[in-house]
């Protein structure tokens, strides 16, 4: 369950939701927690608990503290999503503490669900911090047939560029997974798209992408690889018409799919 401080935060945020002159998430946090590091940890676990409630009706119904003011407005099924949103808004208002909390709270014993929550925080913030790359690489390179593990690996592949993590190790890992025929097709597609988004910084992947483009028996992977190859071998990440080369290639690809 959530701490008293976390309940107070989400209740105050809800009470003033949409009102003129309503306090910001940061103002509410400052009125409840004297320590922003502790606030970040509690809000992280608030977001995680609410995400779990999406899949567990009993957990959702156990939030009896919300009875007096929530159920008259929204159905119980909406509660988890709203709580996730409130917690994420709070974390975004204390960005540096939130980033530290995500890394410090995650280790090899952390559940797949909790890592998924951390990935969602990084995605909302659009950045990560020291230690995040190791966590993402570990998740990406974890093999397993479990659908939850597969989903986590796909999530890791999609995050590297979004949070600004670009290194030789990242490019190597994405390339290895993309080139492996034994890996799920969806995961390989995400890795190829991630390389495309990294652009010239992922130029080392060009030989593998070229091989996939020419020799893969999977036509969809061929198309993904072709777009990624053009992006990583471009002279610049930026496109002459604006935006990035990757964004331009993605729009062309989607146009082809929609017209087929």
pLDDT tens, residue by residue, 223-258: 999 999 999 999 898 988 888 898 888 887 665 545
Q: What is the pLDDT of residue 60?
A: 58
For CATH 1.25.40, the residue range(s) in the chain are 131-260
The structure tokens 């290895």 sit at: 176
Cα–Cα distance between 255 and 209 in angstroms, integer? 22
Q: What is the pLDDT of residue 145?
A: 76
Q: From residue 46, give the alpha-carbon distance in Å to each of 7, 17, 114.
A: 9, 18, 11
CA angle 240, 241, 243 (to 5 degrees): 90
Q: Which fold has domain 131-260?
A: 1.25.40
User: pLDDT-derived band of residue 221, with 50, 70 and 90 as boundaries?
Assistant: very high
Percent of the chain with pLDDT over 90: 59
Residues contacting 78, CB < 8 A, separation 6+: none
What φ, ψ does residue 146 adopt, rounded to 5°? -60, 130
Q: What is the pLDDT of residue 23?
A: 82
Give the pLDDT mean for 59-64: 57
Give me 231's structure tokens: 């992006």
pLDDT digits (tens, 9 = 90+) for 132-184: 999 999 999 998 778 889 999 999 999 998 898 889 999 999 999 999 999 99
The candidate with the shortest Cα–Cα distance to 135, out of 116, 161, 162, is: 116
Give the pLDDT mean for 64-92: 71
Cα–Cα distance between 185 and 164 in angstroms, integer? 25
Element (H, E) at 118: helix 112-125
């Amino acid at each position: 369950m959530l701490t008293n401080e976390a309940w107070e935060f989400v209740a105050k945020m809800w009470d003033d939701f949409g009102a003129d002159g309503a306090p910001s998430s940061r103002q509410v946090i400052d009125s409840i927690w004297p320590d922003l590091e502790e606030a970040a940890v509690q809000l992280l676990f608030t977001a995680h608990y609410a995400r779990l409630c999406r899949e567990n009706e009993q957990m959702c119904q156990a939030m009896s503290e919300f009875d007096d003011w929530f159920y008259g407005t929204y159905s119980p099924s909406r509660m988890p999503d709203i709580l996730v949103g409130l917690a994420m808004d709070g974390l975004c208002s204390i960005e540096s503490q939130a980033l530290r909390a995500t890394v410090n709270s995650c280790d090899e014993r952390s559940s797949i669900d909790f890592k998924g929550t951390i990935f969602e925080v990084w995605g909302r913030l659009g950045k990560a911090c020291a230690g995040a790359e190791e966590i993402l690489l570990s998740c990406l390179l974890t093999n397993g047939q479990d659908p939850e593990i597969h989903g986590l690996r796909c999530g890791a592949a999609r995050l590297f560029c979004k949070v600004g993590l670009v290194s030789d190790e990242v490019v190597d890992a994405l390339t290895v997974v993309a080139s492996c025929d034994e890996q799920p097709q969806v995961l390989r597609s995400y890795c190829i798209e991630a390389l495309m988004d990294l652009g010239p910084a992922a130029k080392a992947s060009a030989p593998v992408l070229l091989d996939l483009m020419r020799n893969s028996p999977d036509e969809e992977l061929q198309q993904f690889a072709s777009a990624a190859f053009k992006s990583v071998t471009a002279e610049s990440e930026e496109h002459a018409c604006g935006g990035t080369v990757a964004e331009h290639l993605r729009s062309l690809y989607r146009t082809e799919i929609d017209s087929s």
